[in-house]
Structure formats: structure tokens, C-alpha cells
Amino acid sequence: GVCVSWGRHVTLRFDFYSSVMADQAFVTLATNDNYAKGAMVLARSLRNHHTTRKLVVLTGPQVSDPCQSVLKKLFDEVRVVDVLDSKDTAHLAMMKRPDLGVTFTKLHCWTLTHYSKCVFMDADTLVVSNIDDLFEREELSAAPDPGWPDCFNTGVFVFQPSMATYEKLMQYSAEHGSFDGGDQGVLNGFFSSWATTDISKHLPFVYNLSSIALYTYLPAFKQYGGNAKVVHFLGQMKPWSLTFDPKAQKVRGGSQDAGASHSSFLLDWWTLYSREVLPLLQEHYGDQPFH
Ligand code: UDP
Ligand code: MN
């Protein structure tokens, strides 16, 4: 019979939705302590904007113990990926393409098959608004790259973990390499139909808003930048390579124009870092020096 009481109906629906959420995750990558700081800020920003999904970080053996401990506090799952040590196709691919070390670690995200769908985010991204709606998108959804808009930027992308896809990606990168030396070249080669086939796989630019947009198209930034959902500190200058003056509430270092137009997002990053991450690091580092 279909005679289900309202109360039971509500319970069933609740179970359904909570189990769907538990098998979806945001995934990032940090192979060293600097990127680990970025990952910590990213995790806090996702939580502060009330994500209902799991948080996963892939790390390498170079990440220090104190940083690993803080990552464990902030993420639901910390997975140490040692491509050199692995006995799988990643290791074989690595032998052929030693230049693609970090790339192979990033591609490892496809092995997270205990999740049905994931959103990968670079460790140099910051969430400024809830982005759980990204899980309505299919693989491979991403935003255009500001430098070459027929390519997608791999700082934020929706993917579906699958061992079959992982094996194909490993094989592809070992055979073809990467036209830009990183994961973006590999993934654009592999998912080459992105530019032309399905517009729903084009994420709006506000899901991966890079600082470059400020210099290349300032009027558009003024018009649409207020709807920013994810800020991406793409390029050489990362927030953690600058310094923060808490008294003046100013970020210092880097080039002048970077400081000027970009400073409100940089300030957001540093505020989150100093309020919510630094205290955890201080706990775990004890007397050891750090910054
Ligand atoms: N990454 C890392 N260790 C590295 C370099 C990169 O863990 O030594 C990861 C990190 O998640 C980073 C991503 O790979 O955000 C892509 O690199 P990056 O953000 O520096 O490239 P960009 O976005 O500036 O092109
Ligand atoms: Mn990046």
C-alpha cells in the first residue's frame, strides 16, 4: 500500500536528501605547507557559507605534521597521495612524465569513488557565497579561462569520480603530456568538447572569478563582480606570499595595482586566515617558528 503517514513521508525525504549530500564532496589539493594554508582558508570559507557537503583534501608527503593535524580538523577526509610510492597507473604515468608530478596528484581526485559527484577547487580559491548548487551540474563543468576562454580554468570544476575515467586520464597524460605543463592542459585536452557541446557545462564566471578580470575588463568587474561566489587568486602572487598588517588592516607586498583593486578579496582571505586558521596552527606548532 501507499498508505504512508505524513510523518514517515517527511522522514523518508529527509533520509534521502541527507544521504545524497553525504556522498558529494568539495575536494582540494595541497602538496606543501603554503598551499595547505590556502586549503585551510578554503575549508573555513565553505563551512562559513553553510555547505551541506563533505570536505576532502588531497595532500602529499611534504606537508608537515602540524599542517596535517590542522587539515584533519577542518576537513572530513585527508588523503595522502604519494604518486611516487603508488603501484598503480599514476606511478607508471609518472615514470614517463616526471614533470607532471602535482598534476598527477590532482587527477587522483577521480579515485574518490565513495562520492557520486564532487567539485574540485584549487587551494588558492576563496568561497564568498554558498555554491552547493554546483552539484546540480554534470561532469565536466567549469568556467572559462580568462586568458583563453575556449579553454576551461581548472581552479573550479564539477566531476564524477570513476576508476575508469581515472585510468583513461592517466593514460592520456602519459601519452600526450600537458600543453601548459599542468593539469589544465591535460584536462582541456581530455575533455576537449567542453568549448562547443553543452552550454550547461559552462559555469558562470562568478564561480571562478580571477583577479585578472580586474585588469582586463574592469567595467564588467564593476557590473558583475558583486555577485562573486568564488574568488581565485590565480597566478604567481598568492595571498600567503604577501604580508598582513593587522593594525592597519592592510595587505602589503606584491605590485601596486594588485594591492589597490584586488585588496578587498585579499583582505577577506587574510581576515579569515588570521581569525580562524592561525590560532589552530599556533596550537599545533607550539614553540616552533611559523608564519
Ligand atoms: N598545488 C599544490 N602544490 C603546488 C602547486 C599547486 O598543491 O606546488 C595545487 C593547489 O591546489 C593549487 C593548484 O594545485 O591551487 C593549482 O596551482 P595554482 O593554483 O598555483 O595554479 P594557478 O591557479 O595560479 O594557475
Ligand atoms: Mn589556482
Ligand 2 centre distance from Cα of residue 125 (Å): 7
Ligand 1 centre distance from Cα of residue 233 (Å): 10
pLDDT tens-digit readout, 150-183: 999 999 999 999 999 999 999 999 999 999 999 9
ipTM for the predicted complex:
0.99
Tell me which H or E stretch contains 16. Answer: helix 6-22
> At residue 99, does pLDDT exceed 60?
yes
List the residue whose alpha carbon is closest to atom 5 of ligand 1. 102
User: For the chain, what percent of residues have pLDDT higher than 70?
Assistant: 88
Ligand 1 centre distance from Cα of residue 3 (Å): 54
* Residue 39 CA, closest ligand 1 atom number: 11
**Which residue blocks in 23-144 are alpha helix, DSSP H?**
33-48, 65-74, 89-96, 101-107
pLDDT tens-digit readout, 242-290: 988 888 888 888 665 454 445 789 999 999 999 999 999 999 887 565 5
State how far the Cα of 291 lies from the Cα of 177, in Å rounded to an integer.
36
**70 vs 76, 176, 248, CA distance in Å?**
12, 37, 28
Q: Are 69 and 57 in contact (CB under 8 A)?
A: no
Q: Are 105 and 29 in contact (CB under 8 A)?
A: yes
Give the three cell numbers for residue 171: 593514460
Mutate to test the pocket of ligand 1, among 26, 27, 29, 156 (most ligand atoms within 8 A of CB): 29
| Residue 142 DSSP one-character state | E
State how far the Cα of 173 lies from the Cα of 185, in Å rounded to an integer.
9
* Residue 122 CA, closest ligand 1 atom number: 15
Residue with cell 594591492: 259
Q: Are strands 24-30 and 117-121 parallel, antiparallel or unpaired?
A: parallel
Ligand 2 centre distance from Cα of residue 57 (Å): 15
List the residue whose alpha carbon is closest to atom 16 of ligand 1. 122
Ligand 2 centre distance from Cα of residue 19 (Å): 31
> At residue 6, does pLDDT exceed 60?
no
Tell me which H or E stretch contains 176. Answer: helix 163-176
CB-defined site of ligand 1, < 6 Å? 28-32, 35, 102, 106, 122-124, 155, 234-235
Backbone phi, then psi, for 174, in 5-degree steps?
A: -65, -35
Tell me which H or E stretch contains 281. Answer: helix 278-285
State how far the Cα of 237 lies from the Cα of 214, in Å rounded to an integer.
15
